[in-house]
Structure 1
Amino acid sequence: MAALGEGASTSLRTDQSAVLSRMVAMRVADLRLVTVREVTEPVPAPSGTRVEWDVRASFTYRLRGFDTTPRSFDLDLTFKADPARVQALGITASSPSGRPQPWDLAGLVVRRSADSLVLAVGDDARVQEVVRRARTAASRVAAVWGGSRPAVWVSPASDADAARLLGRTPDQLRGVAAATDGPLTPGERAGADRIVLVPGAWSSLRPDGRDVVMTHELTHVTVRASTTRGVPIWLSEGFAELVAYQPIDLPEATAVAPALDRVRSSGLPATLPADAEFEPGSGSLAAAYGLSLLALRTVADRYGTQAVVRLYRAAAGGITEPTDRLDDREAAVDDALVATVGLNRSALVRQWQARIRDLLR
């Protein structure tokens, strides 16, 4: 790989040295250059003249001890060389192309344990809080799912940094306290997820609320790492809420207040929440989460929490589906309901509706 060239500024050399130090602390492994594509071609010049041109380089990497599959990232680089001596190629500029990686965060602190890799920016109290709550989340997920996935937690200094890490805009994260991100290939288990905390919303939560959010996201990471088929969002989000609220002493009507407000204004829902209701900016996100939690609690109260786990595992790859139904996630849930608890969807909806009516009294 090319070295920093003669035209590289002192600040670039200092910045890249800091980035490399953070990568070492994170234990970046299997760093591979995949492709290099010219963005601007070098301008023809006579021998002895050094010219610059821009490229976009694509890489893959793993975090040792946490990633079982690679993640990718791109860098925008400016090369400088004498066309007659390209072996003396140097880099004079480097910046993330699109989404940065955690090692690009200035002031990053790395804390590693058996069940978590915390990558945080902030004072020691903030870092230790994330470490402590990550441990709590791991124990809560394991109590329900039977184990928890060692997770990478990223806690940036600002909402803008969180948005860039996730490839979203700040508006898309309004009201979101954390999000799970990672490559997911149909038919395969996820192996390189990141949980990114969004500092504005996360810091506004009470302590129990922070534990709920972190347990919710770790549930997603753990489930994604041990299943191979996608499920409807009402099932994935409802299950994550079920696990997250399991140890929390909070009246159910309080936990699902936005859902009850929506029912009061729009009437009793006839169907379980559709995927579109979970879109940021839809205006129905909080209600959809609450309604999904109530659906899963309806099953858990009648058949037990482990029955919900069996249901999820079956729908997410544990049962064989006919070829013509492989892309029908709702159909897979219907089959899993019957196979695990002997319940059809219409019966579940009726029981769910009755639960909602009871909460409205």
Structure 2
Amino acid sequence: MTLALGGCAGSSAPPVPPGTAGAAAPTVRVTSPAATADIDPSAWAGARTRAVTDLLRTRAAAADRGDEAGWLAPVSGASTGSLRTAQSAVFERMRAMEAGNLHLVTVSEVTAPVPAPRGTQVEWDVRASLTYRLRGFDATPRTFDLDLTFKADPSRPTDLVITASAPSGRPQPWDLAGLVVRRSATSLVLAVGAESRVEEVVARARTAASRVAAVWGNSRPAVWISPASDADAARLLGRSADDLRGVAAATDGPLTPGEHAGADRIVLVPGAWTSLRPEGRDVVMTHELTHVTVRASTTRSVPVWLSEGFAELVAYQPIDLPEATVVAPALDRIRSSGLPGALPADAAFEPATQTLATAYGLSLLALRTLADRYGTQAVVQLYRAAAGGLDEPTDRLDDREAAVDDALRSTMGTTRSALVLQWQARIRDLLH
């Protein structure tokens, strides 16, 4: 995640997904009376689950082959007109994004139907978990959840329709009304807003790609999401508004230890992002693309000071600003609290600590200390070694700091204590 001046920060608020009609809180109700005996919900629970599973698999297959009629078939009927319109818009946005490889993972019933006689239609609520990939960008699948309401006659469970659909938890980009899609070889921009804003994100994504490649050797084709509001950004990220205060962008995606990340998203937070000067926006986007590129080519987590410091190093490399200006918040904190004795701990990067800007500044200074002494490519080698390039003893696999210590010795022939002394000297020079 990138601060307004180019750092990163890491709770979720209940989402109210934009552009989703028919998503009012589902209810369980009998829609027509009958004189026959009620059928207990447990008597047709298995048939109900099988019917829902088959319908959702069929619907996913329809989406994969671009069959809008098949996608909308379960939401037919006069009572679901607004839902049908909304789901048609979702389908069009999914197709524009080239979302495919939809697979149903799990189905769980949230609220069972009430007992009802044959010939009566009743409703019940289901949560479905599915996966998908964006063609040309995702190497691994992403998961999303849906809250759905179904309606059927207990005696005819396969003849069911969907009466409500909404994201469960975090929405996906296709839930954003007014979404504009711009695709190139290096970026997929999913944006809401004026055409000028969309094109700016496209251009700056291209700039970020060239800057990351100049340091890392390549840049990962990335998915950029630019929502209309900070609230939408928070929902997409599954975070609260407080988590994103002062944050201009954040990288989000599944990460499995020992594997490369393959389905990251970079979400711009419009309030902080638009408040930046043009060069600040480039810093933010380069910083985040550095994270995405590194995550896609390494297999082990590193300490936050290294990951954030490296992203800052890459992002600020082409920016002609005095170093004291770039790390001014860190220097202000040091003047009041004294010279730090150790590199920033992971906890210093938590939003609640109010030390984010200081932690990012100190991390950048540590990486610049190494780059000035050993060269930027040596820093890249250090990162690659610490993030999976070194074989570590089994009892140290989870010790990220120890992996960095080993990488410092193997790539630069130095130690953490030497780095800290050189880093402190750099800070003292900036204070004068």
Larger Rg: 2
User: What is the letter of the counterpart of residue 331 of structure 2?
Assistant: L
Q: How does 1:1-361 map to 2 (within 5 A)?
A: 1=55, 3-6=74-77, 8-361=79-432
- Larger relative contact order (Cα-Cα within 8 Å, sequence gap ≥ 6): 2
Structure 1 residue identity aligned to 2:420: V
Look up the equivalent residue of 1:47 and give its one-letter code: R
- For residues 148 and 339 of structure 1, the distance between their equivalents in structure 2, rounded to whole angstroms, comes to 25
Deviation at 1:342, TM superposition (A): 0.4
Q: Secondary structure at the match of 1:249?
A: coil
CA distance in 2, matches of 1:281, 1:107: 34
Preserved CA contact (<8 Å) 2:76 2:84: no
The whole-number CA distance in structure 1 between the counterparts of 2:421 and 2:150 is 65
Flag the 1:58–1:8 CA change in 2: closer, same or farther, 3 A.
farther
Q: CA deviation at 1:51?
A: 0.3
Conservation of the 8 A alpha-carbon contact between 1:4 and 1:13: yes
Residues 283-314 of structure 1, C-alpha deviations (whole Å, 9 max, x = no match): 10000000000000000000100000000000
Q: Comparing 64-73 with 1-10, which one deviates more in the overlay?
A: 1-10
Kept after mapping to 2: 8 A contact 1:235/1:296: yes
> What is the distance in 2 between the residues matched to 1:8 and 1:23?
24
Is this contact kept in 2: 1:6–1:92, CA < 8 A? no
Query: In 1, Cα distance between the equivalents of 2:327 and 2:277?
Result: 17
Post-superposition shift, 1:5? 4.6
Q: Is the 8 A contact 1:5 1:80 kept in 2?
A: no
What fraction of aligned residue pairs are identical, expressed as a percent? 81
| Contact 1:151-1:218 at 8 Å conserved across structures | yes
Q: What is the rounded CA distance, in whole Å, between the counterparts of 2:422 and 2:345 in structure 1?
A: 18
Is the partner of 2:203 in helix, strand or coil? helix
Flag structure 1 segments of 5+ consecutive residues without an equivalent: none
Tell me the distance in 1 between the aligned counterparts of 2:84 and 2:349. 44
Retained in 2: the 8 A contact 1:258–1:290? yes
Aligned residue pairs total 361
Q: CA deviation at 1:7?
A: 6.3
Q: TM-score, normalised by structure 1?
A: 0.99
How far off its partner does 1:29 sit?
1.2
Give RMSD over aligned pairs.
Answer: 0.7
Contact persistence 1:8–1:91 (CA under 8 A): no
Runs of 4+ in 1 over 6 A off after TM superposition: none
In structure 1, C-alpha distance between the alignment counterparts of 2:361 and 2:415, rounded to whole Å: 21
Q: 1:178 and 1:143 mapped to 2: Cα distance?
A: 22
